[in-house]
Chains A and B, each alone.
Chain A
Amino acid sequence: MLKIEDLHVSYGAVRAIKGISLEVDDGELVSLIGANGAGKTTTLHTISGLVPASSGSITLDGKDLRKTPPEKIIGLGLAHVPEGRHVFARMSVEENLAMGAYIVRDKAKIKRQLDMVYAHFPRLAERSRQLAGTLSGGEQQMLAMGRALMTEPKMLLLDEPSMGLSPILVKEIFSIIRELHDAGITILLVEQNAKMALAISDRAYVLETGLISMSGPAQELLHDDKVRRAYLGA
């Protein structure tokens, strides 16, 4: 579904991504793990067009994302849940979800998606009138994910969904990611919590200072000595 080839990204003179290639197949849950500053978020931002690539190619089902205006990418079925949630703090939960469906014109579909999101995240339904800025971190994460689901995307980019959350909430978020995966949504997951990410993923890539240092089935990486030492604290 998603195919990245020889991608390079620079911020001014700083080369953040130095030629990575990766692929996510239909229905797969693939994670991208690595230390802080390795370029994980930059990779996702480049896919979504928030950061321009300097060279290389990014395609979604054969469509060139580098030639697609950033605001058109959601229309291709690719939704991005950014790091730090980025919910619209001064809008209510329900307004945030409505904004998630900004490109959807069909009112019945919006209603259907809203019900689906509330079914996945009952807590959002309870707080539908509350301002998003007043939600807890975990609730904001749920809202950001729910908002991304409003267009019924075929693929999700999840950036650090567990960041800053309590262990119980981390578990909850990961079990929801698994649910979404089981529902057939293709997912590219960026996580610092490598252990949890690998545990639910089909495959994974390890990003190290802008380069992919390792890749393979998640179970293999989970038991790889180098990965264990560097990212799993074992």
Chain B
Amino acid sequence: MGVFLQTLFVGLRLGSVYALIALGYTMVYGIIRLINFAHGDFIMVGGYTLIFTVPLMTAAGLPAWLAVVIAIAVCALVGVGVELVAYRPVRRKGTGMTALITAVAMSLFLENLAQAIPAIGPNPIIASQLFAPGGFRVAGVTLDFVTIYTIAVSAAVMLLLYVFTQKTRMGRAMRCVSEDKSAAVLMGISVNRTVLTTFAVGSGLSAVAALMYVAQYPKVYTTMGSLLGLKAFVAAVAGGIGLIPGAMLGGLVIGLVESFTTSYISSSLTDAVVFLILIAVLLIKPAGILGKNVGEKV
């Protein structure tokens, strides 16, 4: 029972981080039908921003984790920059395939750019402590603070995002653009501005994911976002790409699968099982767990 609960908590923690990242993939996909392969690298951008800004926070006598505010801003700017400099021009001229290749290129570009910055370089940097250490034991289960914070922060962020998309003007505009661009234009919605906001929000979420991830695994390196991003992408697809609740659910499922595979089967099989699950889900439900293959009504 102790092992089971422990595994469950770890799974929820992992899943919360995946969900935060998956949201970025799914929001951008929902609005411009592009798999933003550079999204995983935004986590790396967030990770390094934390590395460089945490000392500033501590020097100012503020808690280390507050650096996430700067990380959110930096990630949002990078996301918006990538859209403006790379994706928008390509989208205007090319096809979905050229946009996809541009996304892969942006991913490699960000990784290599980071490495070229002298303060970063090719070697991993270890982040200092982001949250006060500790935790407590209940019924044979260790609940460390980082796990609790991760689950709570992710839940809060997702709730905020839900309220944003359902209740605010900009959030509703996003849903309209994602459903039907030309109808959105006829309503007076600026598609370009909505797409930029989506990039800003989605990329900002990856900074929150970076905070929670680095708090647990303090090693920050230039390709840290690759596998993390890939798995979050799997989560988004498994949950139903383009659907915000799908990304949340998909993230949690992937996190739990990973955690339980590690505990009960073998840690070396974790990634294999994750991708097997993806294949199984897509065979049974090609549009993802929450996705529907809705035909257009004429």
Contacts and interface: CB of A to CB of B under 8 A. Distances in A.
A71 B184 CA distance: 8
Sorted from nearest, which 3 A-B pairs have the closest CB atoms? Answer: A103-B188, A86-B183, A74-B188
Contacts of B185: 48-50, 70-71
A19 interface: no
28 contacts: A49-B185, A50-B182, A50-B185, A71-B185, A71-B188, A72-B188, A74-B188, A75-B188, A85-B297, A86-B183, A88-B180, A89-B179, A89-B297, A91-B176, A95-B172, A98-B172, A99-B172, A99-B187, A100-B187, A102-B172, A102-B173, A102-B189, A103-B187, A103-B188, A133-B297, A137-B297, A148-B186, A164-B298
Q: Is the interface of B mostly helix, strand, loop or mixed?
A: helix
Interface in A19-76: 48-50, 69-72, 74-75
A194 B8 CA distance: 66
Interface string B26-52: 000000000000000000000000000
B183 A71 contact: no
Interface of B: 169, 172-173, 175-176, 179-180, 182-183, 185-191, 294, 297-298
Contact of B183 (A82, A95, A98, A151): A82
A99 B176 contact: yes
A89 B173 CA distance: 14
Contacts of A133: 294, 297
Contacts of B189: 71, 102
A99 B187 CA distance: 7
A87 B185 CA distance: 13
A199 to B, nearest CB: 25
A8 interface: no
A79 interface: yes
A91 B176 CA distance: 9
A162 to B, nearest CB: 13
Contacts of B179: 88-91
Given A75-B188, A88-B176, A99-B172, A82 B182 contact: yes
